[in-house]
Copies of this chain bind each other. A is one copy, B any other.
Amino acid sequence: MSDEIHLNVGGTLFVTKWSTLQRHGDTLLGSLTTTSDYYNNDKNQFFFDRNPDLFNTILDFYRNGIIHFPTHICGWNWKQELEFWRIPITNISECCYPTYIKYEKDQNLVNYIKNAFIVRTAEYQTHKVSCLAGIKQRIWLFLEEPTSSIAAKIFSIFYLLIVLLSAITPMLATHPDVRQKVVDIDILIYWVNLNGLNLWIDKENPKEVMFVTTVPPKWLKDLELFITIFFSCEQILRFASCPRKKEFFKDWLNFLDVVLFFAMWTIFIIEQSFAEKLLENLDLLIFYSVCYCLVVFRLLRFFRITKQYSALRILLMSVRASIKELGLLSITFLIFVLLFANLIYFAELRDPTTFSDMVIGLWWSVVTMTTVGYGDEVPKSALGRIVGSLCAVSGLLLLAMPIAVIAGKFNDLYEKNANREDFKKLHTIQKMCKVHPSNTMTLQQSKSLKNTSNLNTKELESNSDNKLFEIDM
Protein backbone atom coordinates (compact mmCIF):
# COMPACT_ATOMS: atom_id res chain seq x y z
CA MET A 1 0.00 0.00 0.00
CA SER A 2 3.03 2.26 0.30
CA ASP A 3 2.75 2.77 -3.46
CA GLU A 4 -0.49 4.68 -2.91
CA ILE A 5 -0.39 8.47 -3.08
CA HIS A 6 -3.15 10.64 -1.65
CA LEU A 7 -3.91 13.93 -3.38
CA ASN A 8 -6.38 16.39 -1.90
CA VAL A 9 -7.55 18.68 -4.68
CA GLY A 10 -9.89 21.41 -3.48
CA GLY A 11 -11.27 19.17 -0.73
CA THR A 12 -11.79 16.00 -2.76
CA LEU A 13 -9.46 13.08 -2.14
CA PHE A 14 -7.85 11.33 -5.10
CA VAL A 15 -5.86 8.13 -4.69
CA THR A 16 -3.45 6.79 -7.28
CA LYS A 17 -0.03 5.12 -7.33
CA TRP A 18 3.42 6.71 -7.23
CA SER A 19 4.45 4.58 -10.17
CA THR A 20 1.59 5.90 -12.28
CA LEU A 21 2.59 9.52 -11.67
CA GLN A 22 6.29 8.91 -12.28
CA ARG A 23 5.65 7.86 -15.88
CA HIS A 24 5.87 11.55 -16.80
CA GLY A 25 8.73 12.80 -14.64
CA ASP A 26 9.00 16.29 -16.10
CA THR A 27 5.49 17.34 -15.03
CA LEU A 28 4.48 18.78 -11.65
CA LEU A 29 2.83 15.59 -10.43
CA GLY A 30 5.59 13.39 -11.81
CA SER A 31 8.25 15.26 -9.82
CA LEU A 32 6.37 15.38 -6.51
CA THR A 33 8.22 14.36 -3.36
CA THR A 34 7.22 14.52 0.29
CA THR A 35 9.51 17.56 0.64
CA SER A 36 7.27 19.54 -1.67
CA ASP A 37 5.42 22.65 -0.47
CA TYR A 38 2.17 20.95 -1.37
CA TYR A 39 2.80 18.14 1.17
CA ASN A 40 0.81 18.08 4.36
CA ASN A 41 2.60 15.92 6.92
CA ASP A 42 -0.31 15.66 9.36
CA LYS A 43 -2.73 14.17 6.90
CA ASN A 44 -0.07 12.38 4.83
CA GLN A 45 -1.42 13.89 1.61
CA PHE A 46 -0.69 16.59 -0.95
CA PHE A 47 -3.07 19.55 -1.06
CA PHE A 48 -3.75 21.56 -4.24
CA ASP A 49 -6.17 24.48 -4.30
CA ARG A 50 -7.59 23.52 -7.72
CA ASN A 51 -10.94 22.48 -9.16
CA PRO A 52 -11.43 18.74 -8.37
CA ASP A 53 -13.87 18.35 -11.32
CA LEU A 54 -11.05 18.96 -13.77
CA PHE A 55 -8.46 16.88 -11.92
CA ASN A 56 -9.81 13.50 -13.09
CA THR A 57 -8.87 14.39 -16.64
CA ILE A 58 -5.35 15.33 -15.49
CA LEU A 59 -4.99 12.08 -13.55
CA ASP A 60 -6.25 10.08 -16.53
CA PHE A 61 -3.30 11.46 -18.49
CA TYR A 62 -0.94 9.61 -16.11
CA ARG A 63 -3.04 6.45 -16.26
CA ASN A 64 -3.49 6.39 -20.06
CA GLY A 65 -0.55 8.44 -21.33
CA ILE A 66 -2.77 10.69 -23.41
CA ILE A 67 -5.25 13.48 -22.68
CA HIS A 68 -8.92 13.24 -23.63
CA PHE A 69 -11.08 16.20 -22.65
CA PRO A 70 -14.74 16.20 -21.67
CA THR A 71 -16.56 18.61 -23.96
CA HIS A 72 -18.60 20.58 -21.41
CA ILE A 73 -15.74 22.55 -19.84
CA CYS A 74 -14.60 25.83 -21.41
CA GLY A 75 -11.18 25.53 -23.12
CA TRP A 76 -9.81 28.37 -20.99
CA ASN A 77 -9.89 26.11 -17.93
CA TRP A 78 -7.90 23.39 -19.68
CA LYS A 79 -5.27 25.89 -20.71
CA GLN A 80 -4.92 26.95 -17.04
CA GLU A 81 -4.79 23.35 -15.81
CA LEU A 82 -2.18 22.18 -18.33
CA GLU A 83 -0.04 25.19 -17.45
CA PHE A 84 -0.33 24.59 -13.68
CA TRP A 85 0.41 20.86 -13.85
CA ARG A 86 3.19 21.52 -16.42
CA ILE A 87 1.86 19.06 -19.00
CA PRO A 88 2.96 19.81 -22.60
CA ILE A 89 0.06 20.27 -25.01
CA THR A 90 1.53 17.68 -27.40
CA ASN A 91 0.09 15.01 -25.09
CA ILE A 92 -3.45 15.92 -26.17
CA SER A 93 -5.00 13.17 -28.28
CA GLU A 94 -5.89 14.01 -31.87
CA CYS A 95 -9.60 13.38 -31.34
CA CYS A 96 -9.82 15.85 -28.44
CA TYR A 97 -7.48 18.51 -29.83
CA PRO A 98 -10.34 20.32 -31.60
CA THR A 99 -12.18 20.53 -28.25
CA TYR A 100 -9.09 22.12 -26.72
CA ILE A 101 -8.27 24.47 -29.56
CA LYS A 102 -11.87 25.60 -30.12
CA TYR A 103 -11.65 28.11 -27.27
CA GLU A 104 -8.59 29.84 -28.73
CA LYS A 105 -9.97 29.83 -32.24
CA ASP A 106 -13.21 31.38 -31.03
CA GLN A 107 -11.27 33.93 -29.00
CA ASN A 108 -9.12 34.83 -32.01
CA LEU A 109 -12.23 35.24 -34.10
CA VAL A 110 -13.86 37.48 -31.50
CA ASN A 111 -10.69 39.57 -31.26
CA TYR A 112 -10.56 39.77 -35.02
CA ILE A 113 -14.13 41.07 -35.09
CA LYS A 114 -13.36 43.48 -32.22
CA ASN A 115 -10.34 44.92 -34.04
CA ALA A 116 -12.49 45.57 -37.06
CA PHE A 117 -14.91 47.65 -35.01
CA ILE A 118 -12.51 49.68 -32.88
CA VAL A 119 -13.61 53.28 -32.77
CA ARG A 120 -10.61 55.57 -32.85
CA THR A 121 -12.37 58.35 -30.98
CA ALA A 122 -11.07 57.38 -27.58
CA GLU A 123 -7.48 57.28 -28.73
CA TYR A 124 -7.62 60.96 -29.63
CA GLN A 125 -9.26 62.31 -26.54
CA THR A 126 -6.59 60.97 -24.22
CA HIS A 127 -3.68 63.22 -25.22
CA LYS A 128 -3.72 66.95 -25.70
CA VAL A 129 -3.08 68.48 -29.11
CA SER A 130 -2.11 71.83 -30.62
CA CYS A 131 -4.61 74.02 -32.43
CA LEU A 132 -3.94 72.88 -36.02
CA ALA A 133 -3.63 69.28 -35.00
CA GLY A 134 -6.91 69.70 -33.12
CA ILE A 135 -8.67 70.87 -36.27
CA LYS A 136 -7.14 68.03 -38.30
CA GLN A 137 -8.28 65.63 -35.66
CA ARG A 138 -11.82 66.95 -35.66
CA ILE A 139 -12.02 66.77 -39.46
CA TRP A 140 -10.70 63.22 -39.40
CA LEU A 141 -13.22 62.11 -36.82
CA PHE A 142 -15.96 63.93 -38.70
CA LEU A 143 -15.10 62.07 -41.92
CA GLU A 144 -14.13 58.68 -40.50
CA GLU A 145 -16.16 58.01 -37.38
CA PRO A 146 -19.89 58.60 -37.85
CA THR A 147 -20.42 57.64 -34.22
CA SER A 148 -18.20 60.46 -32.92
CA SER A 149 -20.80 63.23 -33.20
CA ILE A 150 -24.27 63.96 -34.53
CA ALA A 151 -22.84 66.14 -37.32
CA ALA A 152 -20.62 63.25 -38.42
CA LYS A 153 -23.64 60.96 -38.46
CA ILE A 154 -25.63 63.38 -40.63
CA PHE A 155 -22.64 63.80 -42.92
CA SER A 156 -22.28 60.04 -43.31
CA ILE A 157 -25.94 59.72 -44.35
CA PHE A 158 -25.48 62.64 -46.76
CA TYR A 159 -22.35 60.93 -48.10
CA LEU A 160 -24.30 57.74 -48.80
CA LEU A 161 -27.00 59.71 -50.60
CA ILE A 162 -24.34 61.24 -52.84
CA VAL A 163 -22.94 57.75 -53.52
CA LEU A 164 -26.44 56.60 -54.46
CA LEU A 165 -26.82 59.68 -56.66
CA SER A 166 -23.47 58.93 -58.30
CA ALA A 167 -24.84 55.44 -59.10
CA ILE A 168 -27.99 56.83 -60.69
CA THR A 169 -26.49 59.64 -62.81
CA PRO A 170 -24.61 57.35 -65.26
CA MET A 171 -27.81 55.30 -65.60
CA LEU A 172 -29.69 58.40 -66.64
CA ALA A 173 -26.83 59.55 -68.87
CA THR A 174 -27.19 56.39 -70.98
CA HIS A 175 -30.97 56.54 -71.33
CA PRO A 176 -32.16 57.73 -74.78
CA ASP A 177 -35.11 59.63 -73.28
CA VAL A 178 -32.86 61.78 -71.11
CA ARG A 179 -30.15 62.69 -73.64
CA GLN A 180 -30.59 65.63 -75.98
CA LYS A 181 -30.01 65.23 -79.69
CA VAL A 182 -27.37 67.58 -81.14
CA VAL A 183 -26.63 66.21 -84.59
CA ASP A 184 -28.04 63.70 -87.07
CA ILE A 185 -25.93 60.60 -87.63
CA ASP A 186 -25.83 61.03 -91.40
CA ILE A 187 -24.67 64.64 -91.12
CA LEU A 188 -22.01 63.54 -88.65
CA ILE A 189 -20.74 60.85 -90.99
CA TYR A 190 -20.77 63.29 -93.90
CA TRP A 191 -18.82 65.82 -91.81
CA VAL A 192 -16.38 63.16 -90.70
CA ASN A 193 -15.76 62.01 -94.26
CA LEU A 194 -15.42 65.64 -95.37
CA ASN A 195 -12.64 66.15 -92.86
CA GLY A 196 -10.97 62.93 -93.89
CA LEU A 197 -11.17 61.43 -90.42
CA ASN A 198 -11.50 57.83 -89.41
CA LEU A 199 -14.79 57.21 -87.61
CA TRP A 200 -14.74 54.52 -84.97
CA ILE A 201 -18.47 54.30 -84.76
CA ASP A 202 -20.60 51.41 -86.02
CA LYS A 203 -23.59 53.07 -87.69
CA GLU A 204 -25.70 49.98 -87.17
CA ASN A 205 -25.28 50.04 -83.39
CA PRO A 206 -27.99 52.33 -81.96
CA LYS A 207 -26.10 52.67 -78.68
CA GLU A 208 -22.95 54.04 -80.34
CA VAL A 209 -24.99 56.28 -82.59
CA MET A 210 -26.76 57.64 -79.53
CA PHE A 211 -23.47 58.45 -77.85
CA VAL A 212 -22.13 60.51 -80.77
CA THR A 213 -25.34 62.27 -81.77
CA THR A 214 -26.69 63.17 -78.33
CA VAL A 215 -25.32 64.80 -75.18
CA PRO A 216 -26.50 64.50 -71.59
CA PRO A 217 -28.64 67.50 -70.57
CA LYS A 218 -27.09 70.47 -68.79
CA TRP A 219 -28.52 69.59 -65.36
CA LEU A 220 -27.03 66.10 -65.54
CA LYS A 221 -23.62 67.49 -66.44
CA ASP A 222 -23.81 69.93 -63.54
CA LEU A 223 -24.85 67.17 -61.18
CA GLU A 224 -21.94 65.05 -62.35
CA LEU A 225 -19.56 67.99 -61.82
CA PHE A 226 -20.96 68.55 -58.34
CA ILE A 227 -20.43 64.89 -57.44
CA THR A 228 -16.88 65.02 -58.81
CA ILE A 229 -16.07 68.13 -56.77
CA PHE A 230 -17.72 66.77 -53.63
CA PHE A 231 -15.74 63.54 -53.67
CA SER A 232 -12.50 65.35 -54.56
CA CYS A 233 -12.83 67.74 -51.60
CA GLU A 234 -13.75 64.91 -49.27
CA GLN A 235 -10.73 62.86 -50.40
CA ILE A 236 -8.29 65.74 -50.05
CA LEU A 237 -9.60 66.57 -46.58
CA ARG A 238 -9.50 62.94 -45.59
CA PHE A 239 -5.89 62.55 -46.69
CA ALA A 240 -4.77 65.87 -45.21
CA SER A 241 -6.29 65.10 -41.83
CA CYS A 242 -5.20 61.48 -41.69
CA PRO A 243 -2.97 61.00 -38.62
CA ARG A 244 -1.19 57.88 -39.95
CA LYS A 245 -0.49 58.51 -43.62
CA LYS A 246 1.35 55.21 -44.02
CA GLU A 247 -1.72 53.18 -43.16
CA PHE A 248 -3.94 55.35 -45.31
CA PHE A 249 -3.44 53.37 -48.51
CA LYS A 250 -3.69 50.03 -46.77
CA ASP A 251 -7.46 50.54 -46.68
CA TRP A 252 -8.62 49.48 -50.13
CA LEU A 253 -11.42 52.06 -50.01
CA ASN A 254 -8.88 54.91 -49.76
CA PHE A 255 -6.87 53.37 -52.55
CA LEU A 256 -10.02 53.15 -54.66
CA ASP A 257 -10.75 56.79 -53.92
CA VAL A 258 -7.40 57.86 -55.35
CA VAL A 259 -7.96 55.86 -58.53
CA LEU A 260 -11.45 57.30 -58.89
CA PHE A 261 -10.13 60.82 -58.25
CA PHE A 262 -7.83 60.67 -61.27
CA ALA A 263 -10.40 58.84 -63.42
CA MET A 264 -13.10 61.43 -62.71
CA TRP A 265 -10.92 64.42 -63.46
CA THR A 266 -9.51 62.81 -66.60
CA ILE A 267 -13.05 62.33 -67.89
CA PHE A 268 -13.92 65.89 -66.99
CA ILE A 269 -10.85 67.34 -68.75
CA ILE A 270 -11.36 65.22 -71.88
CA GLU A 271 -15.05 66.16 -72.09
CA GLN A 272 -14.27 69.85 -71.65
CA SER A 273 -11.24 70.20 -73.92
CA PHE A 274 -10.87 67.28 -76.28
CA ALA A 275 -14.46 66.23 -76.96
CA GLU A 276 -14.06 66.59 -80.71
CA LYS A 277 -10.79 64.64 -80.84
CA LEU A 278 -12.51 61.60 -79.32
CA LEU A 279 -13.96 60.75 -82.72
CA GLU A 280 -10.61 61.02 -84.44
CA ASN A 281 -8.18 59.52 -81.98
CA LEU A 282 -8.79 55.86 -81.11
CA ASP A 283 -6.19 55.82 -78.32
CA LEU A 284 -7.81 58.75 -76.60
CA LEU A 285 -11.22 57.13 -77.02
CA ILE A 286 -10.03 53.90 -75.43
CA PHE A 287 -8.36 55.81 -72.59
CA TYR A 288 -11.57 57.79 -72.08
CA SER A 289 -13.66 54.59 -72.10
CA VAL A 290 -11.45 52.87 -69.53
CA CYS A 291 -11.75 55.88 -67.23
CA TYR A 292 -15.51 55.91 -67.78
CA CYS A 293 -15.76 52.22 -66.87
CA LEU A 294 -13.59 52.72 -63.77
CA VAL A 295 -16.02 55.29 -62.45
CA VAL A 296 -18.53 52.46 -62.07
CA PHE A 297 -16.63 51.40 -58.96
CA ARG A 298 -17.80 54.57 -57.21
CA LEU A 299 -20.55 52.28 -56.04
CA LEU A 300 -18.14 50.38 -53.80
CA ARG A 301 -18.03 53.48 -51.60
CA PHE A 302 -21.26 52.06 -50.20
CA PHE A 303 -19.01 49.81 -48.16
CA ARG A 304 -17.96 52.84 -46.10
CA ILE A 305 -21.13 52.29 -44.09
CA THR A 306 -19.66 49.08 -42.67
CA LYS A 307 -18.35 51.24 -39.81
CA GLN A 308 -21.91 51.73 -38.61
CA TYR A 309 -23.65 48.73 -40.08
CA SER A 310 -21.87 45.79 -38.54
CA ALA A 311 -23.85 43.07 -40.39
CA LEU A 312 -22.48 44.27 -43.72
CA ARG A 313 -18.92 44.24 -42.41
CA ILE A 314 -19.45 40.71 -41.07
CA LEU A 315 -20.60 39.69 -44.55
CA LEU A 316 -17.46 41.14 -46.12
CA MET A 317 -15.30 39.52 -43.45
CA SER A 318 -16.93 36.15 -44.14
CA VAL A 319 -16.21 36.48 -47.84
CA ARG A 320 -12.61 37.41 -47.11
CA ALA A 321 -12.23 34.58 -44.58
CA SER A 322 -13.67 32.12 -47.11
CA ILE A 323 -10.98 32.85 -49.67
CA LYS A 324 -9.95 29.17 -49.61
CA GLU A 325 -13.49 27.93 -50.13
CA LEU A 326 -14.07 30.47 -52.90
CA GLY A 327 -10.92 29.13 -54.58
CA LEU A 328 -12.28 25.60 -54.29
CA LEU A 329 -15.63 26.76 -55.70
CA SER A 330 -13.92 28.49 -58.63
CA ILE A 331 -11.64 25.59 -59.54
CA THR A 332 -14.34 22.91 -59.35
CA PHE A 333 -16.72 25.14 -61.25
CA LEU A 334 -14.08 25.83 -63.91
CA ILE A 335 -13.22 22.14 -64.41
CA PHE A 336 -16.87 21.15 -64.80
CA VAL A 337 -17.71 24.12 -67.02
CA LEU A 338 -14.86 23.18 -69.37
CA LEU A 339 -15.85 19.51 -69.28
CA PHE A 340 -19.54 20.10 -70.04
CA ALA A 341 -18.68 22.67 -72.74
CA ASN A 342 -16.71 19.95 -74.54
CA LEU A 343 -19.34 17.28 -74.00
CA ILE A 344 -22.28 19.39 -75.16
CA TYR A 345 -20.45 20.44 -78.31
CA PHE A 346 -19.81 16.85 -79.37
CA ALA A 347 -23.31 15.76 -78.29
CA GLU A 348 -24.92 18.48 -80.41
CA LEU A 349 -22.55 18.19 -83.37
CA ARG A 350 -25.15 16.80 -85.75
CA ASP A 351 -27.73 19.51 -84.94
CA PRO A 352 -27.14 22.43 -87.34
CA THR A 353 -28.92 25.09 -85.25
CA THR A 354 -27.26 24.76 -81.84
CA PHE A 355 -23.81 25.36 -80.35
CA SER A 356 -22.06 26.67 -83.46
CA ASP A 357 -18.72 26.59 -81.60
CA MET A 358 -17.36 25.30 -78.32
CA VAL A 359 -16.99 28.73 -76.70
CA ILE A 360 -20.79 29.00 -76.67
CA GLY A 361 -20.75 25.72 -74.77
CA LEU A 362 -18.81 27.44 -71.97
CA TRP A 363 -21.53 30.06 -71.58
CA TRP A 364 -24.24 27.40 -71.69
CA SER A 365 -22.46 25.36 -68.99
CA VAL A 366 -22.24 28.35 -66.66
CA VAL A 367 -25.88 29.28 -67.25
CA THR A 368 -27.03 25.69 -66.65
CA MET A 369 -24.83 24.87 -63.65
CA THR A 370 -25.96 27.99 -61.79
CA THR A 371 -29.59 27.05 -62.76
CA VAL A 372 -30.06 30.51 -64.29
CA GLY A 373 -31.19 28.90 -67.59
CA TYR A 374 -31.69 31.85 -69.94
CA GLY A 375 -32.66 29.56 -72.80
CA ASP A 376 -30.62 31.42 -75.45
CA GLU A 377 -28.69 28.20 -76.11
CA VAL A 378 -30.53 24.93 -75.52
CA PRO A 379 -29.55 21.38 -76.54
CA LYS A 380 -32.02 19.79 -78.95
CA SER A 381 -30.71 16.28 -79.55
CA ALA A 382 -31.41 13.39 -77.17
CA LEU A 383 -27.70 13.05 -76.30
CA GLY A 384 -27.38 16.79 -75.75
CA ARG A 385 -30.33 16.73 -73.38
CA ILE A 386 -28.78 13.92 -71.33
CA VAL A 387 -25.59 16.00 -71.05
CA GLY A 388 -27.77 18.99 -70.10
CA SER A 389 -29.53 17.03 -67.35
CA LEU A 390 -26.21 15.85 -65.90
CA CYS A 391 -24.87 19.40 -66.08
CA ALA A 392 -27.84 20.86 -64.19
CA VAL A 393 -27.74 18.23 -61.41
CA SER A 394 -23.93 18.40 -61.10
CA GLY A 395 -24.19 22.16 -60.84
CA LEU A 396 -26.69 21.95 -57.98
CA LEU A 397 -24.50 19.47 -56.12
CA LEU A 398 -21.08 21.04 -56.67
CA LEU A 399 -22.21 24.55 -55.81
CA ALA A 400 -24.19 23.39 -52.75
CA MET A 401 -21.10 21.93 -51.07
CA PRO A 402 -18.74 24.95 -50.85
CA ILE A 403 -21.65 27.40 -50.46
CA ALA A 404 -22.84 25.46 -47.40
CA VAL A 405 -19.37 25.89 -45.84
CA ILE A 406 -19.27 29.62 -46.64
CA ALA A 407 -22.80 30.20 -45.36
CA GLY A 408 -21.84 28.29 -42.21
CA LYS A 409 -18.85 30.58 -41.68
CA PHE A 410 -21.03 33.65 -42.09
CA ASN A 411 -23.53 32.22 -39.61
CA ASP A 412 -20.71 31.62 -37.12
CA LEU A 413 -19.21 35.10 -37.48
CA TYR A 414 -22.67 36.68 -37.38
CA GLU A 415 -23.55 34.94 -34.12
CA LYS A 416 -20.17 35.77 -32.55
CA ASN A 417 -20.71 39.41 -33.43
CA ALA A 418 -24.19 39.38 -31.86
CA ASN A 419 -22.71 37.89 -28.67
CA ARG A 420 -19.95 40.51 -28.68
CA GLU A 421 -22.56 43.28 -28.91
CA ASP A 422 -24.60 41.74 -26.08
CA PHE A 423 -21.54 41.53 -23.85
CA LYS A 424 -20.57 45.12 -24.66
CA LYS A 425 -24.10 46.33 -23.88
CA LEU A 426 -24.04 44.58 -20.48
CA HIS A 427 -20.79 46.27 -19.50
CA THR A 428 -21.93 49.66 -20.84
CA ILE A 429 -25.06 49.55 -18.65
CA GLN A 430 -23.04 48.52 -15.58
CA LYS A 431 -20.61 51.37 -16.17
CA MET A 432 -23.44 53.88 -16.56
CA CYS A 433 -24.91 52.74 -13.25
CA LYS A 434 -21.60 53.30 -11.49
CA VAL A 435 -20.67 56.64 -13.11
CA HIS A 436 -24.00 58.42 -12.66
CA PRO A 437 -25.51 56.73 -9.64
CA SER A 438 -28.13 59.38 -8.94
CA ASN A 439 -28.81 62.06 -11.54
CA THR A 440 -28.91 60.89 -15.17
CA MET A 441 -30.24 57.45 -14.48
CA THR A 442 -33.32 56.17 -16.19
CA LEU A 443 -36.17 54.82 -14.16
CA GLN A 444 -35.31 51.28 -14.95
CA GLN A 445 -31.69 51.61 -13.97
CA SER A 446 -32.42 53.31 -10.69
CA LYS A 447 -34.92 50.62 -9.81
CA SER A 448 -32.32 48.00 -10.35
CA LEU A 449 -29.84 49.82 -8.16
CA LYS A 450 -32.14 50.07 -5.15
CA ASN A 451 -32.00 46.45 -4.25
CA THR A 452 -28.27 46.24 -4.66
CA SER A 453 -28.05 42.65 -3.55
CA ASN A 454 -29.99 41.61 -6.62
CA LEU A 455 -28.18 44.00 -8.88
CA ASN A 456 -26.68 41.40 -11.10
CA THR A 457 -29.84 39.51 -11.92
CA LYS A 458 -32.28 42.41 -11.98
CA GLU A 459 -29.99 44.38 -14.22
CA LEU A 460 -29.99 41.59 -16.66
CA GLU A 461 -33.73 41.29 -16.58
CA SER A 462 -34.21 44.94 -17.45
CA ASN A 463 -31.65 44.47 -20.16
CA SER A 464 -33.40 41.46 -21.56
CA ASP A 465 -36.83 43.07 -21.23
CA ASN A 466 -35.67 45.77 -23.59
CA LYS A 467 -34.55 43.09 -25.95
CA LEU A 468 -37.99 41.58 -25.92
CA PHE A 469 -39.37 44.73 -27.46
CA GLU A 470 -36.61 44.91 -30.01
CA ILE A 471 -37.40 41.30 -30.90
CA ASP A 472 -33.66 40.85 -30.84
CA MET A 473 -33.05 37.11 -30.98
Contacts and interface: CB of A to CB of B under 8 A. Distances in A.
7 contacts: A74-B99, A82-B456, A112-B471, A312-B328, A315-B398, A370-B392, A372-B373
A61 B89 CA distance: 24
A374 B378 contact: yes
A158 interface: no
A89 B78 CA distance: 22
Contacts of A299: 335, 338-339, 342
A80 B93 CA distance: 14
Interface stretch (A46-54, A121-129, A253-261): A46-54
Interface in A190-248: 202, 204-208
Contact of A350 (B205, B350, B366): B205
Given A50-B63, A400-B407, 15 more contacts: A4-B47, A83-B454, A88-B430, A90-B426, A90-B427, A167-B338, A205-B351, A293-B346, A296-B343, A326-B397, A333-B393, A366-B385, A371-B373, A374-B375, A405-B410
A407 B411 CA distance: 11
Given A89-B426, A468-B108, A359 B68 contact: no
Contacts of A108: 464, 467-468
Q: Which 4 residue pairs of A and B lie closest in terms of their CB atoms, listed nearest first?
A: A372-B373, A11-B15, A205-B352, A374-B375
Contact of A170 (B12, B90, B342, B413): B342
A437 interface: no
Nearest to A87: B456
A401 to B, nearest CB: 4
A338 B297 CA distance: 10
Given A16-B10, A372-B371, A473 B97 contact: no
Interface string A91-111: 001111111010111111111
B53 A56 contact: yes
**Count of chain copies:** 4
Interface in A7-57: 7-8, 10-17, 20, 40, 42, 47, 49-53, 56
A146 interface: no
Contacts of A11: 6-7, 12-16
Contact of A457 (B82, B97, B368, B370): B82
B352 A202 contact: yes
Contacts of A86: 453
Given A108-B468, A366-B389, A407 B414 contact: no
Task: Name which of A17, A74, A399 has the most chain B CB atoms within 10 A of its CB.
Answer: A74
Interface in A357-406: 357-359, 362-363, 366-368, 370-376, 378, 382, 385, 388-389, 392-393, 395-406
Interface stretch (A136-144, A266-274, A316-324, A439-447): A316-324
A358 B171 contact: yes
Nearest to A357: B175
Interface in A321-357: 321, 323-329, 331-333, 335, 338-339, 341-343, 345-346, 349-352, 355-357
